[in-house]
Amino acid sequence: MTDWPQGYGLKRYDEIDSTNEEARRLAAAGEVGPLWLTALRQTAGRGRRGRPWEMAGGNLAATLLLRPSRPQGEWAQLSFVIAVAAADAAAGFAPEARVALKWPNDVLADGKKLAGILLETANGPAPALAIGIGMNLAHHPEGTEFPATSLAALRKTVPSADEALAALAAEFAKWYEVWRTQGFEAIREAWLARAMGLGTRIRARLATEERSGTFEGIDENGALLLNEGFGRASVLPAADIFFR
């Protein structure tokens, strides 16, 4: 099993409403981490835009409570840090799968969703960040708009939630140090090297419209660059994307 990264705490729960909610409660009480929280079962897990996140037994639900060392205006960049870390951890467990990243914050394996990420501000005596992740290890939902998969569907031996978290925590500690010392550009390059659909046609669903074009990459802030044929790429800070 991967060694636990030095300087990071860990709390385990049998059942909890949401590891992100617990991180926010701890932050309100004065905790700023770095502290990983994990639960065998979540009763009210959620993803982006408040969507429910199905938490089946044997999967990984975890949140890192952290007070990042860089300015607060840069904290959103950590969604790309955790995405790269999660992709590398997943690839270590399923080396024959094609693990890739889907903007803005999903991990794919063979073109299907393996993990999702949610960042939320955690207010308290000192501001902190709750970095939540759910990874399908033993099970995955069926009938979702974007097809899902699990490590069980990709290989014969499935890691335990503790094994998966240890690998994720170690990868995050490595890439967090890159971000802390080198800034976002190094993370941006690592993310793009793992990106799904780069240079291909995609659909981008915004709150009030849907647009299509060529996925050209992400900018210095992590926003999507979409070439719609107007001579200059459109910059989309938030959207759901679909591959053609």
Question: Does residue 162 have a pLDDT over 80?
Answer: yes
* Domain span including residue 210: 201-243
What is the largest distance, in Å, between two alpha-carbon atoms of the chain? 54
Residues 34/4, Cβ–Cβ less than 8 Å: no
Same domain, yes or no, for 215 and 98?
no
Both 116 and 149 in a single domain? yes
pLDDT band at 232 (very low <50, low <70, confident <90, very high): confident
Q: What is the pLDDT of residue 2?
A: 81
Q: Domain tally for the chain?
A: 2
Question: Could you read off the pLDDT of 127-151 as tens digits, one per residue?
Answer: 999 999 999 999 999 888 899 999 9
Q: Which amino acid is at 89?
A: A
| 50 — pLDDT class (breaks 50, 70, 90) | low
Strands 35-42 and 9-16: parallel
2 lies in some domain: no
Q: Do 139 and 27 belong together in one domain?
A: yes
pLDDT digits (tens, 9 = 90+) for 54-109: 566 799 999 999 999 899 999 999 999 999 999 999 999 999 999 999 999 999 99
Instruction: Compute the half-sphere exposure of residue 97: CA atoms within 13 Å on the CB side of its CA.
Output: 27
pTM, whole model, 2 decimals?
0.93
Same domain as 41, residue 102:
yes
CATH of the domain at 156: 3.30.930.10
Residue 45 to residue 222: CA distance in whole angstroms: 25
**Residue partners of 165: CB distance under 8 A and separation at least 6:** 36, 38, 60, 62
pLDDT of 143 reads: 87
Mark whether 88 and 51 lie in a shared domain.
yes
Residues 114, 207, single domain; the answer is no
User: And the tokens for 50?
Assistant: 């408040």
**Residues 17 and 128 reside in one and the same domain:** yes
88 and 67 together in one domain? yes
108 and 130 share one domain: yes
For residues 186 and 217, membership in a common domain is answered with no
**Does residue 52 carry a pLDDT above 90?**
no
- For the segment 188-214, the average pLDDT, to the nearest whole number, is 96
* Cα(47)–Cα(37) distance, integer angstroms: 16
What's at 29, amino acid-wise?
A
